[in-house]
Every structure is written in C-alpha cells, then in structure tokens.
Amino acid sequence: MSQTRPDFLSLSVAERIQLAEDIWDSIATESPESAALTPLQLQELQARLDAHDQDPSTAVSWDQVRTELFQRSH
C-alpha cells in the first residue's frame, strides 16, 4: 500500500459518511465472508427484528436515518 493517504478531515461529514458507505459496499461485494455478522451481532439483529414484529410503527426507514445524518452534518 504505497499510495498517499488522503486528508479525510478535509471532507465534509456527509462526504465522509458517503465514502464509508462506498468502502463498506466494495468490501462486501469483493469478500462477502468478511462482512459476515458475529454471533453477538446476529443476536442483536434478532432482538431488533423481534421488537419490530411486536410494534412495526416504531420503525424508521434507512432513507429517513440517512437524511437526518446528512442534515446534522451541515
């Protein structure tokens, strides 16, 4: 890895969030096993799914979460 590391802090928060998403997506695409969930993560996911099944009205869409994150970063 001989490339110069870019100055991430010069990017806006929104740009860094997008970069993190892009990097994660590329890792998951190239090496799906590296993005596998741990048993603890699977347990947490199941607990959240169970809570959602109990009361779906509390759900927030990813689009809404993402929009709120980007609004906070400006």
DSSP H stretches of helix in 2-72 = 13-30, 39-54, 62-72
Q: pLDDT tens, 2-39?
A: 566 778 889 888 888 899 999 988 988 888 777 788 99
Asked if residue 39 is part of any domain, the answer here is yes
Q: pLDDT tens, 33-70?
A: 777 889 999 999 999 999 999 999 989 998 998 888 88
DSSP letter assigned to residue 11: S
Give the closest residue to 21 by CA, choosing from 71, 69, 60, 54: 69
Asked if residue 59 is part of any domain, the answer here is no
pTM over 0.85: no
Asked if residue 19 is part of any domain, the answer here is yes
Asked if residue 50 is part of any domain, the answer here is yes
35 Cβ neighbours under 8 A, 6+ residues apart: 24, 27, 28
Q: Which domain holds residue 21?
A: 11-54
Number of domains comprising the chain: 1
Asked if residue 67 is part of any domain, the answer here is no
